[in-house]
Every structure is written in structure tokens, then in C-alpha cells.
Amino acid sequence: MTDSRHLSMINGLPVVRAPAEIDGDTAEKFRAVLLRAAADGHATIVVDLTGTRFCDSGGLKALDAAHQRALDEGGELRLVLPASGTIVRILAITGLNRCIPCFTGLDQALAAPQTSHAAGPASLLQVTVGTGAAGPVIILAGEADQASHSQLAEVLDAQLSGQSTHLTIEISKLRSADSSFIRALAAAAVVLRHRGGNLILMHPQQPVRRLLTAMRADHILTIR
């Protein structure tokens, strides 16, 4: 994935054309192209994902990092998506399509006025979904509360809709959580137990750990 092939300037904005598959072999190069686009001093970047069939957790992290970097510079990341397909479902499951502006055509993305990015409840929880040795891995960061409950519920439902028996949730970067978050995890854990599996909660920070203990969720969840 080279800059000359995947990074171009159109109407004054850098356009990054993502590869067909963003995986372990291409995610780092994809990240490098996004960094190259930002290094040229352009706060707003367009990423064309219309030809992308698959994106793993590394690619999602690259998009999220580019999104945060663009916001810090006073711009935004704009995604051009196909009408349907795996990449659309992945962004919906992780919630990235809610916090990153998405468009159905390149012309729309290039012509769109910059949107306001005042902090809102839906953007406080960041979710990344990947695959580990024992099954799906969900990485949560930010804040998990009533405002983000539906976002979390969608992600858990998507994982439980398959035949998974084990689910790992990494929350070392989760700053805070409320009772609705704990109840959602407990409900998922009960489903997995009925399948003969379990839900593993990794690296909770002290405030979240105290809430887990207070609600006796540590009797239902495996906490490591």
C-alpha cells in the first residue's frame, strides 16, 4: 500500500483509498497512509472504503485514531461507504458509524460542510471488536452509562447471535461505568453460561471494579 497509489488530492482534500482487506498484513500500511495525509497539514481527510470487503480490529483502531487526530486539529475524518456489505456491518456493530461522518458517495464527502463535534453522550463510549484465541474480544474505552447503553447492547447482541460460548471484554481504558453497564454484562454472561461458556472481563480500573463488587457481578463474571 503506497502513498502514490492510495493517497491523492481531490478538490483540496486528501483522499485515502483503503485496500480491499485491512488485516494484519495491511493495517500498519493503512495507518501510515492516514498519518501521511495528516502530516501534510490537512485537518479533514476522506477515506474511501467502497472497495473494502473486510476490516479487522487493527484497521478499526487506525480509523478511530485518525478520527481523534482530525478532531484535535479542528477537522474531521469522512468515510465513504458502499451501500451494503461487511464493512458497513462492522462499522455499525462497533458504533464507529455514529461518531465518524459517513457518506454514500465520494462527491458527497468532498462537498459536505464540516459538522459540529460538540461532545455528546453517544460519543463517550468507544467500541472495538476483534478476535482472540478463545473467541470474540470487545475492547471498551471511555464511559459506559445509560446514554451509551443501546450502543453496548447492540454490540453484545451481535456477538451472542452467533454460536460463541466465550466472550472477552477488555476494559482497561474504560474510565467509568454505571449499573446499566453491569446489568448488560451480567445478562450476556448468563446466556454464555447456558451454552457452557463464560464472559471474561479484563483489567477493570478501580472505580469500575468497586461497582462490580458492590453489585456482586464478580459472582457472575470472570474478572482478570
Nearest CA-CA partner of 17 in 46, 59, 54, 40: 46
Is a pLDDT exceeding 80 seen at residue 40? Answer: no
Q: How far, in Å, are 57, 68, 144, 201 from residue 216 at the CA level?
A: 31, 35, 18, 14
Four-CA torsion 35, 40, 41, 46, nearest 10 degrees? -60
How confident is residue 31, by pLDDT bands cut at 50, 70 and 90?
very high
Phi and psi dihedrals of 110, rounded to 5?
-70, -35
More confident residue, 161 or 50: 50
Q: How far, in Å, are 148, 175, 207, 213, 223 from residue 203 at the CA level?
A: 20, 12, 12, 14, 8
Count the helices and strands in the chain (H runs, E runs). 9, 12
Out of 75-84, 90-99, 204-213, least confident range: 90-99
More confident residue, 204 or 72: 204
Mean pLDDT of the chain, nearest integer: 84
* Cell numbers that stand for 119 in this block: 461532545
* Cell numbers that stand for 106 in this block: 465520494
How confident is residue 46, by pLDDT bands cut at 50, 70 and 90?
very high
Nearest CA-CA partner of 164 in 128, 195, 139, 185: 195
The one-letter amino acid at 203: H
Is a pLDDT exceeding 80 seen at residue 158? Answer: yes
Cα distance between residue 71 and residue 78, in whole Å: 11
- Per-residue pLDDT tens digits for 104-124: 899 999 988 876 554 444 447
Structure confidence at residue 30 (pLDDT): 92
* Mean pLDDT, range 174-199, rounded to an integer: 87
Other C-beta atoms closer than 10 Å to the C-beta of 104 total 12
* Cell numbers that stand for 100 in this block: 465518524
**Residue that the C-alpha cell 471488536 belongs to:** 129
54, with CB counted inside 10 A (0-12, 13-18, 19+), is middle
Map out the domains of the chain with their CATH numbers: 3-111 (3.30.750.24), 121-223 (3.30.750.24)
Is a pLDDT exceeding 60 seen at residue 164? Answer: yes
Cα distance between residue 208 and residue 69, in whole Å: 27
Cα distance between residue 13 and residue 19, in whole Å: 19
Structure confidence at residue 51 (pLDDT): 93
- pTM of the prediction? 0.53
Structure confidence at residue 143 (pLDDT): 85
